[in-house]
Amino acid sequence: MSRADPIPRNQENDYTREQASARRDFAAERTGASLDTVGSYTIDPAVTRGNVENFIGTVQMPLGLAGPLRMAGEHAQGDFYVPLATTEGTLVASYSRGMRVISECGGVRATVVKHSMQRAPVFLFETALQARDFGQWLNDEFEAIKAAAEQSTSTGKLVEIEQYPVANMLYTRFCYTTGDAAGQNMSGRATFFACEWIR
């Protein structure tokens, strides 16, 4: 069985308009689809490094404006309008109605209770005693586990490992701060590195 052609890449600089164009041409030749509108964008492909691989362009999506939503937060104060990208009819109107009701009732009082992204591996043992002892070991080795987790990220920081023992299992919750990112991939990868170190 022959192998399919690889997607064009440039090992030196893969985030250029030329590389994006080469990949669009590659895809168009193999699918018959026109990607002209995908190639009509204003961003510099270099800014997508670390966010997307094999960049070919951007897509347009319908964008509606909901609001206003009155905020009385610790940092955000005033009336805010929220752009919502969707193809679901009535979604923006529904958000706007909800925002109006909230605003007419005095607005939203918001605070950050905890900034954390979590991953929750479970560790299985032969006995409850082993699970308990492992939990103590996690506490004792936290700094080493933290170092192992954080070697995979420059932004994510492991702040605690919550523990929930159930019989011979120890359910854990690895809690991270992730900077400005949501951190789904970051926390998953960091927890993988931590678990590999633990193993």
All domains of the chain in start order, with CATH: 1-59 (no CATH), 63-104 (no CATH), 117-198 (3.30.70.420)
* pLDDT (0 to 100) of residue 73: 87
pTM over 0.75: no
Nearest to 93 by CA among 63, 66, 70: 66
Beta strands in 14-141 (DSSP E): 63-72, 77-85, 117-119, 122-124
Strands (E), the chain: 63-72, 77-85, 117-119, 122-124, 157-166, 169-177
Determine the angle formed by the axes of helices 142-150 and 184-198, rounding to 10 degrees.
130
- Cα gap 54→51, rounded to integer Å: 10
Q: Which residues of the chain have pLDDT under 50?
A: none
Q: What is the pLDDT of residues 8-50, one digit of tens each?
A: 999 999 999 999 999 999 999 999 999 999 999 999 999 999 8
pLDDT at res. 1: 63
**pLDDT at position 51:** 87
Q: Which contiguous run of DSSP H or E holds residue 23? A: helix 17-31
* 178: alpha, beta or left? (left if phi > 0; alpha if psi -120 to 50): alpha
Please tell me the predicted confidence (pLDDT) of residue 113: 85
